[in-house]
């Protein structure tokens, strides 16, 4: 089984590929050049692995929160590829994707994404046996509101591009 997943909701183009036992990852900072680089990057990564697009069994895409244009470009690309090959598509929250990057067995993780205009997209997750479980809804907060919600939670790991806020 082969899976191609992308996330285009931030200034990075993130590709993940899975082939039964192997996981491949490719990250590229694209800024505002996403639409011109996405299809080309997918093609080059597949060629580097010796795969063809019709080898892919499942397609996945990050659905935000994040850049509205990034979400649209990513979803349109993945849905177009999947539709043309009659393959299934899975959408996943970008915050959920980020939360799964923490390598710990317990505690809390809070992925945060810069929503621009001094706002933060976030959600809180409890880690049990290495797996995150979302314990709050997805939220859009000011940095002060975020810090207020963070006060009562100990052993918290924070990650994402809004850390500097």
Boundary of a domain, candidates 43, 60, 92: 92
What is the structure's pLDDT at 155?
80
- Whether 155 maps to a domain, the answer reads yes
| Residue 115 and residue 74 in one domain | no
Domains in the chain, number: 2
| Residue 84 and residue 8 in one domain | yes
- Whether 54 maps to a domain, the answer reads yes
Structural domain boundaries, residue 149: 95-159
What is the reported pTM? 0.86
pLDDT digits (tens, 9 = 90+) for 6-30: 999 988 999 999 999 999 999 999 9
- Whether 56 maps to a domain, the answer reads yes
What does the pLDDT profile of the chain (165 residues) look like in tens digits? Answer: 999 999 999 889 999 999 999 999 999 999 889 999 999 999 999 999 999 999 999 999 999 998 899 999 999 999 999 999 999 999 999 999 999 888 877 889 999 999 989 999 999 999 988 889 999 999 999 999 999 998 877 788 999 888 888
Tokens representing 75 are 């979803």
CATH of the domain at 120: 3.30.420.200
- Whether 164 maps to a domain, the answer reads no
Name which of 89, 57, 96 is nearest 74 in CA terms: 89
| Residue 81 and residue 117 in one domain | no
CATH of the domain at 44: 3.30.420.40
């Amino acid at each position: 089984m082969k899976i191609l997943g992308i996330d285009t909701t931030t200034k990075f183009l993130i590709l993940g590929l899975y082939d039964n036992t192997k996981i491949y990852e490719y990250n590229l900072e694209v800024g505002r050049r996403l639409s011109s680089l996405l299809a080309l990057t997918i093609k080059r990564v597949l060629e580097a692995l010796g795969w063809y697009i019709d080898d892919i069994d499942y397609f996945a895409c990050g659905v935000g929160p994040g850049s509205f244009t990034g979400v649209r470009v990513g979803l349109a690309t993945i849905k177009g590829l999947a539709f043309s090959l009659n393959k299934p598509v899975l959408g996943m929250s970008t915050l959920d994707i980020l939360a799964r990057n923490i390598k710990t067995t317990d505690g809390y993780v809070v992925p945060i994404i810069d929503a621009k205009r001094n706002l933060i997209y976030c959600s809180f997750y409890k880690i049990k046996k290495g797996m995150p479980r979302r314990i709050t809804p997805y939220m859009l907060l000011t940095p002060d509101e975020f810090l207020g919600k963070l006060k009562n939670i100990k052993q918290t790991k924070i990650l994402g591009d809004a850390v500097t806020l």
